[in-house]
């Protein structure tokens, strides 16, 4: 009777485990018992070999069928064994997936791009509301014109890195696993510059100011940002540049407060307008008219602090689906100084209002 443990037990999976389940279990167990993580631990090394053997069999459709039917005996009599070459191949495939991006197999410099830039643009409320185009000045590295961004002196060119042979990566073996890392000499570029450009010192870029045209959409707000593709820092050795991110700030407006897509404004009215009712004009925000106003009908008896909403006169929505509202807060102004005639009239009005209030009070008491 075989002394080997059941392969499903080794990987801690059920007999109905799918291919993905097996792969996940192998990754988990292999990382846990890898010799590099358990140096000097003979038990961990034996467990690691057992895990690889189990995965090699169960990940092979034909071998798994034989094992499910006949167990270890069926494999010993039919498959002719499973050498370390196959185990290494399985490990190589899986570890290349597990460490892709930092470690891998096969090497080769990955496609890269330059870094991103961030600038701030300050807009007026009208510009943010209705959109605008701005020419922004950006100070950042730009491709060196003397070497065309290659970093090599005119008349020369970069050569393949002798250490990584142009792949940008170097490999070394530890135990049963081959690890690949970025080449330290060329920093992953796969090329070295023997004769650097004197203008950019071999960097392929020099710092300079440049103009970038940016379109701000209608409805943009403070705190939001725009991405301008390809206007960032040029990449090394002529690879594509990164992106430019424009952080938006909006100036305070003395006439309006912004609340999302709504605008809040105050309408100052006379006491007589509020008491008798009137049609007044309130300031509005329009794209082409800085002095735009809208009519607002105040009903008799309007109180200070009352709110009126004018739909469709707020901030345009970013998705283009109409505009928010203009919210008008009424403020009844009380004069601080009166002429002699105005004082007499106000006093007469006061007497009339008190008399009217008293009469109304008596009627209410009698009605009870």
Residues with Cβ < 8 Å from 335, sequence gap 6 or more? 342
CB atoms under 10 Å from CB of 247, counted, come to 14
Q: Is the pLDDT of residue 1 over 60?
A: no
Return d(Cα 146, Cα 67) in angstroms, integer.
67
Compute the distance between CA of residue 143 and CA of residue 145 in angstroms, rounded to an integer.
6
Q: Name the H helices within 34-166.
A: 42-58, 61-78, 84-98, 125-130
Confidence of residue 87 (pLDDT cuts 50, 70, 90): very low
* 7-98: CATH topology: Helix Hairpins (1.10.287)
| pLDDT tens-place string over residues 231-262 | 988 776 567 888 999 999 999 999 999 999 99
The answer as to CATH 3.30.10.20 being correct for domain 257-333 is no
CA distance 98 to 23: 11
Q: What are phi and psi of 179, to 5 degrees?
A: -110, 140
Q: Where are the beta strands (DSSP E) in 186-333?
A: 191-192, 205-216, 225-228, 244-250, 257-259, 262-270, 278-283, 293-298, 307-316, 323-333
pLDDT of residue 2: 53
Percentage above 90 pLDDT, the chain = 36
Architecture of domain 117-250: Ribbon (2.10)
- Give the domain ranges of the chain: 7-98, 117-250, 257-333
Which segment of 28-37, 146-155, 172-181 scores lowest on mean pLDDT? 172-181
Helix (H, G, I), strand (E, B) or coil at 249: strand
Q: How confident is the model at residue 300 (pLDDT cuts 50, 70, 90)?
A: very high
Mean pLDDT of the chain: 82
| Cα gap 79→81, rounded to integer Å | 5
pTM, rounded to two decimals: 0.55
Q: What is the pLDDT averaged over residues 330-343?
A: 92
pLDDT of residue 246: 95
SS (H, E, C) 96-121: HHHCCCCCCCCCCCCCCCCCCEEEEE
Residue 15 to residue 17: CA distance in whole angstroms: 6
Q: Which two tokens stand for residue 15?
A: 């007999």
Mention every residue, 6+ apart, whose C-beta is less than 8 A from residue 152: 158, 193, 195, 196, 197, 202
The pLDDT, as a whole number, for residue 169 is: 80
Q: Which segments of the chain does DSSP mark as H helices, in order? A: 7-11, 19-33, 42-58, 61-78, 84-98, 125-130, 271-276, 340-367
């Amino acid at each position: 009777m075989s002394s080997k443990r059941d392969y499903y037990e080794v990987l801690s999976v059920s007999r109905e485990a799918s291919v993905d389940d097996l792969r996940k279990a192998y990754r988990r167990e292999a990382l846990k018992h890898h010799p590099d993580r358990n140096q000097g631990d003979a038990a961990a090394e034996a467990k690691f070999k057992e895990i690889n053997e189990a995965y090699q069999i169960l990940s092979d459709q034909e071998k798994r069928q034989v094992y499910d039917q006949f167990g270890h005996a069926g494999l010993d009599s039919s498959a002719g064994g499973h050498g370390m070459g196959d185990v290494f191949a399985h490990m190589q495939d899986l570890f290349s997936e597990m460490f892709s991006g930092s470690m891998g197999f096969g090497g080769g410099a990955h496609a890269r791009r330059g870094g991103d830039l961030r600038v701030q643009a300050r807009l007026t409320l009208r510009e943010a509301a209705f959109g605008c185009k701005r020419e922004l000045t950006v100070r950042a590295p730009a491709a060196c014109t003397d070497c065309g961004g290659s970093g090599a002196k005119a008349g020369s060119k970069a050569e393949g890195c002798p250490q990584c042979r142009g792949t940008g990566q170097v490999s070394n073996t530890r135990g049963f696993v081959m690890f690949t890392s970025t080449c330290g000499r060329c920093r992953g570029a796969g090329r070295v510059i023997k004769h650097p450009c004197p203008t950019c010192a071999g960097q392929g870029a020099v710092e300079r100011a440049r103009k970038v045209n940016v379109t701000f959409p209608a409805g943009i707000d403070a705190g939001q940002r725009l991405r301008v593709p390809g206007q960032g820092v040029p990449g090394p050795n002529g690879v594509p540049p990164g992106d430019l991110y424009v952080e938006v700030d909006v100036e305070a407006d003395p006439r309006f407060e912004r609340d999302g897509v709504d605008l809040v404004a105050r309408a100052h009215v006379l006491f007589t307008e509020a008491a008798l009712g009137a049609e007044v004009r309130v300031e509005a925000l329009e794209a082409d008219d800085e002095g735009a106003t809208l009519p607002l009908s105040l009903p008799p008896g309007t109180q200070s602090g009352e709110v009126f909403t004018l739909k469709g006169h707020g901030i345009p929505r970013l998705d283009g689906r109409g505009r928010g509202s203009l919210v008008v807060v009424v403020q009844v102004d009380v004069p601080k100084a009166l002429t002699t005639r105005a004082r007499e009239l106000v006093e007469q009005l006061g007497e009339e209002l008190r008399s009217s209030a008293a009469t109304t009070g008596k009627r209410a008491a009698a009605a009870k």
